[in-house]
Structure 1
Amino acid sequence: MSKVNIKVLAEELQLSVSTISKALRDSYEISDETKKKVMELATRLNYIPNPYASSLRKKKSKTIAVVLPEVADNFFSLAINGIQSIAETKGYHVLIYLSHEKYANEKTILEDCQSGRVDGVLISISSETKSGDQIHKLQANNIPVVFFDREEESIETARVTTNDYECGLIAANHLLNRGCRRPAFLSISESLPICLNRIEGFKAALQETGIPDADRQIIYCTDNDSMYKQIKTILQSDNRPDGLIASVEKIVTPVYLACHELNINIPNDVKVIAFATLDTAPILDPPLTTITQPAFEIGKAAATLLFKGIEKSTFDLSKEHMVIPSVLIERESTRAAN
């Protein structure tokens, strides 16, 4: 599918390119009736203004977009470093967008990326994302897209992830081997593939061990503002978990704060393990056991694939799926009882 440009609009309406351009800019030289016709056609054909058209006739924008759900997460900071390490060697700028875990923001960002501002997109989807429509539009406009960490599984393109199912299994077995019999999995989403895969691994480990369904807790902490209160309520319940798996590192702080507030000892009363790349994990009180994802390597690999798609239009990104394993790092937060 070719891009709809001003020439297409001009031919359709049998007007000059200059008239179309002025109408789109709401020029006083153009009648209201003509402006209305131009805008209606532009909307119907999904025309997207391209402020970079003149420069792009001769060369690429030399910019890639990186769409992130947040940057407070240390994982994404490290991933950006990996992406930047490749972009610099290619002479490219990196334009970072934040969806703040909102699909509406992500949709607006991806619409902006269709304008010619960027030559390719690296994306880790928001926790609200359930549709790949905007990414399909990018692909239709020959803008390559690569997923890293969080993916939309319905889209056929390259992706670089970690072994989420196996890590969910490893985290659960680690707690079970340390004596936990009522472990809980704290997830930030009911739809994100990374969370679903980690949950499936968690459930498989508990089923294999024979943990009753009543003691298999999966808790969705989807609201950042109320996460602390929610975790505190869980820890005060009659069926309080004796082990917690945090699906992402932003859950760690409210868990530690709630335990401190309630005078719950980690690891004697509850053991804690998190999917995290926190630099501070070894110096927390107690030091935090983590499933540590290779964030830098994931970002670097994703950028490498994206540039292959940018530099060679015949390169088939849909055949590229890299899985870079994460590592369990044991620390005091899951120490077995003496």
Structure 2
Amino acid sequence: MKAVICVRHGPPDALEIQDLPDPVPESGEVVVEVSAIGLNFFDTLIIRDLYQVKPALPFSPGAEFAGHVAALGEGVTGFAVGERVCGYVTHGAAREKVVVEARFLARVPDDLDLVKAAGLIVTYGTSLYALRERGNLKAGESLAVLGASGGVGLAAVEIGRIMGARILACASSAEKVAFAKAHGADEGFDYAQGDLKGALKAFGGPKGLDVVYDPVGGDMAEQALRALGSLGRFLVVGFAAGEIPKIPLNLLLLKNCDARGVAFGTVARSDPAWLAGVVAELMEHARTGRISAHVDKTFPLERCVDALGEIAGRRVKGKVVLTTGR
């Protein structure tokens, strides 16, 4: 089988395509013939050894995938060879066959495209966990989403819409803002307009914003935090801007608000039963059209370098997915 391999830490063009033996499942494991692999911003970090998860070399990037069951290990029940599935592995999915513990797999409905299924788990799972379990978002509350046209940002807009929030989508161009509004945001703000804090305050009104969803970080984080109202929740999702902000903690005291970390991967790895419930919920949302599971671009597995370059260059609206032709 072909696999994308990180043999040394570095930029995407340091990745190699190698031929590897097909995996054999051990007890409790399943081999999946992979059709599609969802890529995420953290894949651009993990290959450079800049991510909190640090797999031993060599490894494949890619945390989520969809395909068909190819083989079952001893003791595996509930799955059959040929069945359509998707799964979560943190890293290692960018290859034609993946071996994974059965508890990290879920069935894909027949009426849901495998390419869409491959890009659902991380972005929408993160946003659902962030807004519902960490942010306690309620219907009618105000939600500002930074980086609203990217993978997790778009997911936050769509999940926020399902939850009944009023949503301000913030993005780096008028085109990206329009895209986020077309997917459910009530209003939009283009960073090029200048006064982000002013726009957030205006959207929040006299009581301030209820929730900020921030996968961007950098100098935008403090501006967004300052727009929160009393009992507001600032959700720390990631640092796509490349800079981890240093937030003055006195703001939390003065504004009587919270900053809350969102570590979807930590929860998913530690509680597969919880993950299975989340994935089943997201699959139902996708097949009924409540979320778009929008895939902006697909690339063949052999062009993983180009796909990661699109993500690193922030040229993506929604997801980038690799395909194997299987």
Structure 2 length-normalised TM: 0.36
Higher helix fraction: Structure 1 or Structure 2?
1
More strand by share: 2
The structure having more radius of gyration, on CA atoms, is: 1
